[in-house]
Structure 1
Amino acid sequence: MPAPESTSTHPTRRNWDGIAALIAALIGLLALCVSAYTAHIQREQARAQVWTQLQFGSSDPDMNLLVVNKGIGPARIESLRLYVDGKAQPDWKHVMDALGVKLTGYIQSTASDTVIAAGEKLVTLKINNAEDWKLLREQTARIRTRACYCSVLDDCRVFDNRVRKKADADVAVDRCERSEDEEFTE
C-alpha cells in the first residue's frame, strides 16, 4: 500500500540565509560602484588642479618672444619645434638665417625640455634694440610653433599653430612624440 501524502498545514518555509546572502552581495556591489565613481571624481579633480595651457607669443614693449603657462599646474615641455616657412629649424641662428634677419644682439633662453610653473612667463628670445625688434616683428608671421607638453599627471597636449582652425591648435594627446630631426634645441 502506498504511503499517504503529507498534507502539512505549515506554510512553505523560506530560505532566509539565501536571501540574506543575496542582499549582502547587492550591498557589496553597490558599495563597489560608489567607490569606483568616487575614485573617478577624485581623479578628475586632481587633473583639474594641475591643468596646463601654454601660449606662445611676443611682447612689443619688452621686445621679446615668450611662452606663458596660463594653466594652474606646471607644464613640462617634452617636444618643441620652430618652423620658418614650413621648414623645421634647430636653433635661433638658423631661424634668423631663414628669416633673413641679422640681429646685432639678443639673449636666448632654453624652452626645450623645460618645466614652466603655473603663471610663469619664460622669455625665449630677448632683443637688445628697437631696430632689431622691428626687423624681427616684420617676419614673425613666418614662424610657426609646435610644442608637446604634459602636466605632472602626464596629461599631454600639443599646441601647433600651423593648423588652420584655432580650435585644432591645442589638443589632448596620449603622449608626446619627438622627432630628433625637427626638434628645436634652444
Structure 2
Amino acid sequence: MSATPPNRRDHWDVLGVVIASLVGLLALVVAGYTAYIQREQVRAQVWPYLISGNNDLTQSLTVSNKGVGPAIVRSVRVIVDDKPQVDWDHVLVALGMQPNSYIMTTVNHGVLSPGEELQAIRFPDKQLWRQFHDATSGRVAIDICFCSTLGECWVSINEKVIGPKSMPLQLRVKPVGRCPQLSPAETFNN
C-alpha cells in the first residue's frame, strides 16, 4: 500500500487550525492582562491611608483617612511607656492625669471615609490639653490596623503621637496579610 500524498487543502486546514489557536491564545493573554490592569485600578480607587496625630487648634488627638477609599478599622492599640492600655481612662491614669473632662470618638471597629478625620480624644479645656500634650510627648504610640474594601490590610504605626515631631517622621504604614488578633489586654476599646 502506498500512502497518498497530502494535498494542498490539508496544508491550508492545518495552517488555519494553527492560526486560530494562536489567535485564541493571544485573546486569552490580552483578557488576562486587561483583568489584571482593571484589578490594579480598582485597588488604587479603594486604597485607604490612616494616620494619627495631634491637632493643637482643636485640642485633640486625631485619626485621619488620607487615602481615596474607605478604611475599615479592625483593631486599635494604644501604648503608654511600652504598656498597652484598654481605654482613654487608663491612658490618662498611666500619664498621671485625672480621667475626666475629655470627649472621645470611637475609632476601633469603625469605618473612616476618604478625607474623614475623627477626634479620638479632645479636651475642651486648653490647660488639660496642654497637660495631656506635655505628658504624652515621646511616651504614647498608636497602632491601627485597617483594611480596604478589597480585604487588603495595613498597620499604621505612630510611635510618637503627640509632640512637635509627631508626624510624619515616626509614622509608618506597612502592609500586612491580615490584622493581628489582639488579646483583650492589648485591645483599645475607646
Q: TM-score by structure 2 length?
A: 0.86
Aligned length: 179
Structure 2 residues not aligned, in runs of 5+: 161-168
1:75 aligns with 2:80: no
Structure 1 residues not aligned, in runs of 5+: none
Structure 1 or 2, whichever has the larger Rg, is 1
Give 1:38-57 correspondences, 5 Å limit: 38-57=34-53
- Inter-CA distance 24–49: structure 2 relative to 1 (3 Å threshold): same
* CA deviation vs aligned residue, 1:31-71 (integer Å, no higher than 9, x gap): 00000000000000001111110010111111111100001
1:150 aligns with 2:147: yes
Which residue number corresponds to residue 108 of structure 2? 112
**SS of equivalent residue, structure 2 residue 188:** coil
Which residue number corresponds to residue 16 of structure 1? 12
**SS of equivalent residue, structure 2 residue 13:** helix
Q: TM-score by structure 1 length?
A: 0.88
Alpha-carbon contact 2:79-2:141 (below 8 Å) kept: yes
Which residue number corresponds to residue 85 of structure 1? 81
Alpha-carbon contact 2:52-2:62 (below 8 Å) kept: yes
User: Following the alignment from structure 2 to structure 1, what is the Cα–Cα distance between the partners of residues 145 and 132?
Assistant: 25
Q: 1:180: Cα distance to partner? A: 2.6
RMSD across aligned C-alpha pairs, in angstroms?
2.4
Amino acid at match of 2:156: F
Q: Percent identity?
A: 40
* CA deviation vs aligned residue, 1:55-109 (integer Å, no higher than 9, x gap): 1011111111110000111101001100001110000011011111125401111
Which residue number corresponds to residue 165 of structure 2? none
Which residue number corresponds to residue 171 of structure 1? 174
